[in-house]
Structures are given as structure tokens and as C-alpha cells.
Amino acid sequence: MSFVRQTLALPLTIATTFLQNPALAEERVGSTPLDDISVTATRVEKTLETVPAAVGIVQQEEVQFAEPQLGLDESLSKVPGIFMQNRYNFAQDLRVSIRGFGARSAFGIRGIKVIVDGIPETLPDGQANVDSIDIGSIGNMQVIRGPVSALYGNASGGALLIESEEPPETPFISLRPTFGEDGLQKHQLKFGGKADRFDYLLNFSNLTYDGYREQSGTELSALNSKFGFDLDGGARFSTVLNYTDSPKADDPGGLTEALVDEDPTQAWSRNLSLDSGEKLEQTRLGFVYDRPLGDSGELRVRNYYVSRDLANRLPIGATGHGILLDRFAVGGGAQYTHTAPLSGHANRLTLGVDLDRQEDERKRFLLAGEELGTKIQDQDEQVDSIGLYIQNEYSFSERVELTLGGRYDRLDFDVEDNFLSNGDDSGDVSFSRFSPSLGLRFTPRPGLNLYANISRSFESPTAVELRDPDGAGFNQELDPQVATNYEIGVKGRLGSKARYDLALFTMDVSDELVPFEIDDIEFYENAGESRRNGLEAQLVFEPVEHLIATLAYTYSDFEFDEFIDDSGNDFSGKTIPGVPENLLSADFTYTHPNGVYGQFTALYVDEIYANNANTVTNDAYTVADLRLGYTRFFGPWELSPFIGVNNMFDKEYNGNVRINAFGGRYFEPAPDRDVYAGLTLRYDFEG
């Protein structure tokens, strides 16, 4: 408890000082979830209520609200249809699933298109990582729930679009240290502003964390920067530069149920003895050019470059395996939007092309203690993708709008084997698909919008998932999964104090990609068919002045219709593992004009099946968090101490479930109750 007393002392002392000086009071400013909101997730700007699809948004004030800023799930949990695990295993990265897509991923994000400041974080093969996303400078996060291949290509579940915060008119600089239990230390330095036609935002952060479990520590430093230039003729040129250096991200591994009961803080013995984990360094550079063309046209051109070096130690085989990955990705795209009446009615046409390339130099070794030993794999992998898309929005009247869209994608995978002592396993495989979409919105009265849509998507295996269990090279038997989504929904407002969103969907999936493990190595196979039925609901309202409540509920009935695996096991009729049937979140945020603010969140997660046979389950749990803070302005200075308690009722639960894990090691325990505290100190350069 000495740590807790020390952690609380500074913020509480500062808060008490300011509470005794009401002359320093000034109302916090910023938008709220009940303000009118515009979204761009569907590639064109529309109000949240008029998009004929399930779209959610989390704004800057919600993302940076006294959070420890360890993972995107801290604020995204209030969006229905999205389920997140694995915040505390930094080697495996946050696991995000939308409508169940992405739940199978052993690491990173699958089935979801991730785009940051207009630049794709998702690679051409469909894999994304969020370890390089700077939470401390996020302006908003938009989530499309449901197939988005007609808009973004290779993704079944949806899209996550992240925008950095906009620099204010007045230049500023801010410091944000945070300290917590389990060795948590995070420091941020942020500054930005505008000068004539130029604007800028830079955020430096450094994280060290010992972790709740053995072998779960991490060290990560990051720079996120965004620069904008307003040009003549209404044009704008933006540059984004992100650099991430993580020399340590340990992996404690999964545990059996018996080991969890024995000691949830322990690591799997093999992970501990082999020092499992990863080191990475990544640089992402992107350029975006926007320009109006005449009175009715808009052009956007983008270009990006990504360099990622990864070293991984895996508890595979007798000695363990070491992987060295040198990745380079490059891509670009162009989009043209034409807005002009058609037959006397409003019409907007969007055309675009995306071109991307991913080059991986992958080497695998047997481990020899702390060093790399005998080389057992050396291959170069290349993935090329091209996507052509079109979307048209036609308004029959102010109350009825029809949206038609389609996209053609082609992906080419090529592997060149440089390790020929065991034969040449070079090869290639290609996938191509056309993904159509149809949406209809009907607005019977202001504040009430009904919609329906039908869409089809595809999701290819990644280069890693194409690994052949019978040898090196690509698995030629593995096909992309294809999903057809049927959805109806209603969204709108109840006066100025409430906003609601309800979606019902059914989805047919063929050739679903499912994982299985052989000797701790994960491989993939196609299931025959699966069916997903679901309901997603969100209500945002203001029950009393200054208090915003957000309730989100997700019901998921996902099962295999037809699935017999390569070993002859029949899983037809079984529930798809990794997704809870019921998911409920409640968020209550209070912000008083005198500067006091607080937030209470609760999340209920139903039981989760851990394997295809549905013989192993992860128990249901409810976890609650509390955050309190106080903001005061005096002249150009702003001071905001805050304190938070995660898992405030000290619930024992697993923060991650490894699907179909080898050896029954399905579970990764989450931390018990922990306290953190910090403060934000900001100075505005007025005049």
C-alpha cells in the first residue's frame, strides 16, 4: 500500500490546493458525444445518423480522459460490435474483433482494415499492428461494423479509422507523466499549433511496464507527428511521420486452467526459460494531398512507406525458435469525388484506386541460449495488391438515399526460398474478388433514420497464415473466406439529450479461416460454412446536467454450419470460439464546470469457448474501472491531476483466450486491482 499512498499523494495535494482556490475555476471545453458528429469512415463525409451502415465514433475527450493509455480498448469498449482482448501482452499486441472477425488472430489484428491519418496501417496481406499507434495524440476513432471490402478491400469484419487531433490555433506545449502499479511509467511531451498556412502536432512518449505476470514487461518509445500546409486554390498537403522503438516486449504465454488457479502471475515455464518476446523498430511516413477540382470535384492522392524490423523469440520445439523479419511496405492511392445533381436530385460519385506492396525478408533459427543458432529457414516474401472501387450516393428526395458500390481486388503472394538444403519451397499464389454493396436510407422525420444494406466481403490469408503444415512455402489449399452480410438498422436522436443506434444483421461465411496448432506452431485451414446472427445497440444520453451515460450491448450468435477439419473432426453446429454471446458496457462520465471530472465504466463479458469443439470455456466476468480528475486554468497554464483504479472490485479473470491452443494453454490472466495516477501540465503561447 506504500506505493498507492505515494502514487496518490501528488495529484491529491495539487487537487486540494486548487479546490481551495475557486478563483482559478474555468469550464473545461471540448465536444461531447451528444454534439452533431460528422464521420468520414465511408470515404465521404456524412453525419453519423445518415450513414446507411453501422458506424461508431469515439472522440478525443473520450480517448484521453484520464486513461493510462496502454491500449485502444480503454475507450473503444463503449462501441457495440467490437470486442478486444490481450491489452497486457505487448508481444502479441491487442486483439480486436468486429462481429467475430479478428478473434482467431494469434497476434496483431486480422479481418479489420486499420487506417491512421489516411495511411493504411493494415498491410496488403491483411495483417495490422497497433503497437505503433500513439494513443496520446488521437483526435477520434471511427469504427465501421460489417464487411467493408467494397470500400477498403481485404477485410471481412469492418474498419477502424484513426485521426490525430487537430492542432489548435494557439500554439501549446504539454507534459503528461503517469505512474502506476506493476512498474507502470509513461511520459508524454506534446506540442503543436498553427502559423499562417502551416500547422503541426508532435507527440513523444515513453512507456516502461514490468507487467502483472512474469515475463510480461515492455519498453516502448514513440514519436508521432503530423504537419499540414494550406496551399492556393483550397488545396492541402499533409505529412505524417511515426517512429516506434520497442527494445523489449515480453511474452508470458498462455496457461492451463490448473496453472491459472495455482498462480495467475506466473508465465509458462518455456516462455520464461527461453525469454520469449519480441523487439521491434518501425518507421511510417505518409503523404496526403487534397485538392478541390472546380465547384463539384475533390481529389485525394496518398503515398506511404513503412519500414519494420522485428526480432522474435518463440517457445517452439526443443530449443525454441528465433525469427528475424525485415519488412518494407510501400503504397499509394487516388480518390476522386464528384458531387453534382443528377436528374434534378443530389448525387455523389466516388472513384478510386489503391496500389500496395509488402516485402518481407524472413529468417528462422534454432535458439542457442541467448543467441541465434542454426538457421532453418530463409525466404523472401512479396505481396502485391491492387484495388479499384466505385461508390455512388443518389438521393431520390431529402428522405430517401440509395448507395451502390463495388470494388475489385487482386492479391499476388510470392515466396522465394533462399534455404535450399532441404529442397526448394519457392512458390506463389493469387486471389482476386469483386465485392459489391447496396445500402438504402429512409428518414421519415428529422431525428429518425432507418437503413438497410447488403454487402459482400473477402478476407485472404496473410503471408504467415499461408504457412504450409506439410513444409515450407505457401499452403496452396488455403482459400480466402467470403462473407455476405444482410443488415437493417435504426439510428437517430431523442431531442437534444439522447442519441441511439440499433443494428440487426445476419451473415453467411464460406471457407472461414480457422486456426489450429501443431507443437505450438499455428496453422490455418478453411471451414466449410458458418452463420453469424447479431444485434448491436448503443444509447448515449444525458440523465442529468454534466453527466453523459453511454450504454452498449452486443448479442452474437455465431456458429459453424458445416465444418469437418483435416483430422476428420466434425464441428458442424458448434459455436465459433473466441467471441462472447453477450457483451455489455456502461460508461458514466461526469464533467463539472468547476473542473472536477470523473468516469465509471463497467464491462460484462459472457463466457467464451476456447476451442472448436466447445469443450473448454472461459468464465464470464464483469470488470469495473474508476477515474477521477480535476482541471484548473490560471492564465495560459492548465493543470489537470488525475487518478484511476482499474479492476476496482479485484475480479479474477482472463484478459485473453488463445483459440485452439496447444497443450491446453488457453488462458492469459489479467491484472488484479491496480492504481495509477498522473497529471497533465499545459501551457498556451497566447499572443
Q: 591-601: per-residue pLDDT in tens? A: 999 999 999 99
Of 166-180, 410-424, 547-561, the least confident: 410-424
Residue of 51 and 208 predicted with greater confidence: 208
* Position 532, amino acid: R
CA distances from 10 to 100, 173, 282, 675 (A): 43, 21, 35, 14
DSSP category for residue 572 = T
The C-alpha cell of 247 is what? Answer: 527494445
Rounded CA-CA distance 495/34 in Å is: 10
Which pTM was predicted? 0.91
Helix (H, G, I), strand (E, B) or coil at 48: helix
Query: How long is the chain?
Result: 687
Instruction: Find cell 512474469 and name the residue.
Output: 214
Q: What is the DSSP string of 351-378?
A: EEEEEEEEEEEEEEEEEETTEEEEEEEE
For 34-49, what is the mean pLDDT? 77
Indicate if the pLDDT at residue 25 is higher than 80.
no
For residue 419, the model assigns a pLDDT of 87
Q: 451-460: per-residue pLDDT in tens? A: 999 999 988 8
How many of the other CB atoms lie within 10 Å of CB of 195? 10
Does the domain at residues 2-174+340-350+393-422+431-684 carry the CATH identifier 3.10.450.50?
Answer: no
Rounded CA-CA distance 67/11 in Å is: 15
For residue 23, the model assigns a pLDDT of 40
Q: 436, 483 in Cβ contact below 8 A? A: no
The C-alpha cell of 376 is what? Answer: 532453418
Residue of 606 and 687 predicted with greater confidence: 606
Rounded CA-CA distance 59/34 in Å is: 11
CA distances from 255 to 87, 92, 182 (A): 17, 15, 20
Indicate if the pLDDT at residue 27 is higher than 70.
no
In b/e form, how buried is each residue of 532-570, taking b as 16+ CB within 10 angstroms? bebebbbbbbbeeeeebbbbbbbbbebbbeebebeeeee
What does pLDDT average to over the chain?
A: 90
Going 607 to 71 to 250 to 652, the CA torsion angle's sign is negative
* CA nearest neighbour of 309 among 283, 277, 274: 283
For residue 18, the model assigns a pLDDT of 42
Give the chain's radius of gyration (CA, Å). Answer: 25
Rounded CA-CA distance 189/212 in Å is: 26
For residue 608, the model assigns a pLDDT of 97
How many of the other CB atoms lie within 10 Å of CB of 309? 16
For residue 13, the model assigns a pLDDT of 45
For residue 472, the model assigns a pLDDT of 62
Helix (H, G, I), strand (E, B) or coil at 67: coil
Domain ranges of the chain: 2-174+340-350+393-422+431-684
The C-alpha cell of 416 is what? Answer: 522465394
For residue 471, the model assigns a pLDDT of 65
Confidence band for 687, pLDDT divided at 50, 70 and 90: low
Per-residue three-class SS string for 574-629: CECCCCCCEEEEEEEEEECCCCEEEEEEEEEECCEECCCCCCCEECCEEEEEEEEE
* CA nearest neighbour of 325 among 379, 252, 248: 379
Name the CA dihedral angle for 318, 668, 184, 122, rounded to a multiple of 10 degrees.
80
Rounded CA-CA distance 546/598 in Å is: 11
The C-alpha cell of 125 is what? Answer: 496481406
Q: 623, 647 in Cβ contact below 8 A? A: yes
Indicate if the pLDDT at residue 515 is higher than 90.
no
For residue 28, the model assigns a pLDDT of 39
Q: 81-123: per-residue pLDDT in tens? A: 999 997 789 998 888 999 998 887 777 788 899 999 988 999 9
Instruction: Find cell 461531447 and name the residue.
Output: 32
Instruction: Find cell 439529450 and name the residue.
Output: 497
The C-alpha cell of 450 is what? Answer: 432507418
Q: 427-475: per-residue pLDDT in tens? A: 899 999 999 999 999 999 998 999 999 999 988 888 878 877 776 668 8
Q: 227-255: per-residue pLDDT in tens? A: 999 999 999 999 999 999 999 999 999 99
Residues above pLDDT 90, as percent of the chain: 69
Rounded CA-CA distance 526/406 in Å is: 25
For residue 33, the model assigns a pLDDT of 65
For 167-192, what is the mean pLDDT? 96
Instruction: Find cell 432507418 and name the residue.
Output: 450
Contacts of 138 (CB under 8 A, 6+ apart): 60, 63, 64, 162, 163, 164, 165
Q: 282-333: per-residue pLDDT in tens? A: 999 999 999 999 999 999 999 999 999 999 999 988 899 999 999 999 999 9
Q: 524, 517 in Cβ contact below 8 A? A: no
Q: 618-635: per-residue pLDDT in tens? A: 999 999 999 999 999 999
- Distance of alpha carbon 552 from its chain centroid, rounded? 18
